[in-house]
Amino acid sequence: MRADARRNYDRLLAEADVAFREHGTDTSLEAVARRAGVAVGTLYGHFPNRRALVSALLRERNEALFAFGERLLAGVDAGRALREWISAVVDHATTYRGLAALLADGIDDAASELHASCARMADIGDRVLAAAREAGVVRREVTGTDVLAVMNAVAWTREHASTEQADRLLAFTVDGMVTRRLPGRVSAT
C-alpha cells in the first residue's frame, strides 16, 4: 500500500472506531469517511462494505480474544475457563452497539467478512465447553449453540438494558448449565 493510501486506511479505521463507539455499527459510512477527511469512494476502495470495515477494526481484538481462549484451554480449571470465555466473548461482542448482531449473522454467512473469525470463536467455545463437560462441571446436554445463544442474549441485553441486568442474566443462565458452582464474576450472588 502506498504511504498516502496507508494513512487513509489508518485514519478510516481510527474514525470508524470512534464513530462506532459513539453511535454503533449502523453509523453512516459516509459520516465515517467525512470524519476521516476522505471521499466515500476512498472508504469503499478500502472496505467494500460495513462488514469488511468491522472485520478490519476487530482484527487485533479478535487475535487477542483467540489467544486468550487458547490460554484458557491450556489451563487446568475447565469450569473457570468456561466462565471466563463466556465473559470475554460477551465483552468483545459489546465493543460497539450492534456488533453482537453482526457477529451472530457472521457465523451463518460463509460469504461474510466476519465468518472466519466467528467460526474460530465458535470453535474455541466448543473446545472450552467440551473441556468443561469432560471435567463434569457442565450438564451434558448443554451445546455450543446454547452457549452462543446465551452470549448473544447477554450482549443484546447489555446494549439495550444495562450491564448489571446483562450480568445477572448471564449468571442465572450459567448457573442453570453447571453441575456445580463456577468461580468468578458470572455468579449473581
The pLDDT confidence band at residue 175, using thresholds 50, 70 and 90, is: confident
Look up the pTM and report it. Answer: 0.84
Whether 1 shows a pLDDT value over 80: the answer reads no
Domains delineated in the chain? 1-48 (1.10.10.60), 50-177 (1.10.357.10)
Give the model confidence (pLDDT) of 87-112 as tens digits.
999 999 999 999 988 888 888 888 88
For residues 94 and 100, the answer to whether their CB atoms sit within 8 Å is: yes
Q: HSE-up of 181 (CA within 13 Å, CB side)?
A: 6
Flag whether pLDDT at 47 surpasses 60.
yes
Query: pLDDT category, 169, cuts 50, 70, 90?
Result: very high
HSE-up of residue 172 (Cα within 13 Å, Cβ side): 8
pLDDT at site 180: 65
Instruction: Give pLDDT, residue 179.
Output: 83
Give the per-residue pLDDT at 188: 43
pLDDT at 187 over 70: no
Contacts of 141 (CB under 8 A, 6+ apart): none
In DSSP terms, which residues pair with 138 in a beta bridge?
178
Closest CA to 126 of 145, 152, 154: 145
Q: What pLDDT, on a 0 to 100 scale, did the predictor assign at position 110?
A: 84
Question: Residue 77: pLDDT above 60?
Answer: yes
DSSP per position, 105-174: HHHH-TTSTTHHHHHHHHHHHHHHHHHHHHTT-B-TT--HHHHHHHHHHHHHHHHHS-HHHHHHHHHHHH
Considering the chain, what is the average pLDDT of its residues? 89
pLDDT at 183: 52
User: Is 51 in contact with 102 (CB distance < 8 Å)?
Assistant: yes
How many Cα atoms occupy the beta-carbon half-sphere of 58 within 13 Å? 29
C-alpha cell at 54: 468491522
Q: How confident is the model at residue 42 (pLDDT cuts 50, 70, 90)?
A: very high
